[in-house]
Amino acid sequence: MRKLIFLMMFSFVFAFDYFTIKKADNYFKNKQYLKAANEYLKIHSQKAMLNAANSFYKAGKYKKAIKIYEKINKKDLQFQKLYNLGNAYALSGNYQKAIKSYEKALKIKKDKDAEYNLNLIKKLLKQKQNKNQQSKKQQNKQKQQNKNNKQPKKQQQNKQKQKNKKENKNNKNTNKKNKNEQNKQNNTKKTKQKKQQNSAQKQQNNQKQQAYKNKKPFKEKIKTTKFQKTKEANTSDIRMKFYEKN
């Protein structure tokens, strides 16, 4: 009874795997690689895992393909695994791991395609390293050039700053000098005007004094004036005129 149940289960699993493999193969043949990969993963065998990894590789899903390739440990599948793993690493840009995979595959057996890919990837890796070194050298050169350009620019800024400071100081001194000169001129002008005023005032006073000297006093006139005594003469009128003049 147990043997019968086992045989029935084995037949069911075999039939399931058969139809699943056939379905996956059809997907792969029609270039529906992702659907094919999903069908292959339903089958529990190393060969199906290799086919699933190859399907992901064909679909351009290199990381998923690498992950599945690395799980395959069956001895008779090692060359296919390592060769395809090298291709997946190469197309994903990891040249160093691709080289290691090709070298391991060539240790198992000689293969022209593996040798060609190995030499090609070594050449591409060298070009990449040279390009990176050249790019790094260019970056360092540009960095140094920027640093060198920055220093003269800073020096030029400091020089311009000092020049502006000197010019401001000279302008300030010039303005101060002009102001002092203007004040001096104003003071000279004021002094000259004051002297002229004093001279005019002095001249005016001299003229007054001279006029006063030239002018005979009224008292003398009174003394020298001869009044004829008449009967109509009134001495009070003479005194009144004297006091009014004075």
Domain ranges of the chain: 1-64, 73-142
| Rounded distance between C-alpha atoms, residue 210 and residue 237, angstroms | 31
b/e map 66-87, b = 16+ CB within 10 Å: bebbeebeeeeebbbbbbbbbb
3-state secondary structure string, 154-200? HHHHHHHHHHHHHHHHHHHHHHHHHHHHHHHHHHHHHHHHHHHHHHH
Give the residue with greater pLDDT, 136 vs 94: 94
Using a CB cutoff of 8 Å and minimum separation of 24, what contacts does 59-63 make? 59/33, 59/34, 61/34, 61/37, 62/88, 62/89, 62/91, 62/92, 63/92
pLDDT of amino acid 27:
95
Q: Which pLDDT band holds residue 145 (cuts at 50, 70, 90)?
A: confident
| 85 contacts: CB under 8 Å, gap ≥ 6 | 66, 69, 70, 101
* CATH T-level assignment (fold) for domain 73-142: 1.25.40
pLDDT of amino acid 109:
94
**pTM, 2 dp:** 0.55
- What are 148-165's pLDDT values in tens digits? 776 666 777 778 888 888
For residues 43-51, average pLDDT: 94
Q: Among 39, 36, 91, 41, which Cα is nearest to 63's?
A: 91
Number of C-alpha atoms within 13 angstroms, CB side, residue 146?
Answer: 6
pLDDT of amino acid 13:
44
User: What is the crossing angle of helices 112-214 and 95-108, to 10°?
Assistant: 170
Chain centroid to Cα 146, Å, comes to: 13
pLDDT of amino acid 215:
54
- What are 181-223's pLDDT values in tens digits? 777 787 777 777 777 777 777 777 777 777 666 654 434 343 4
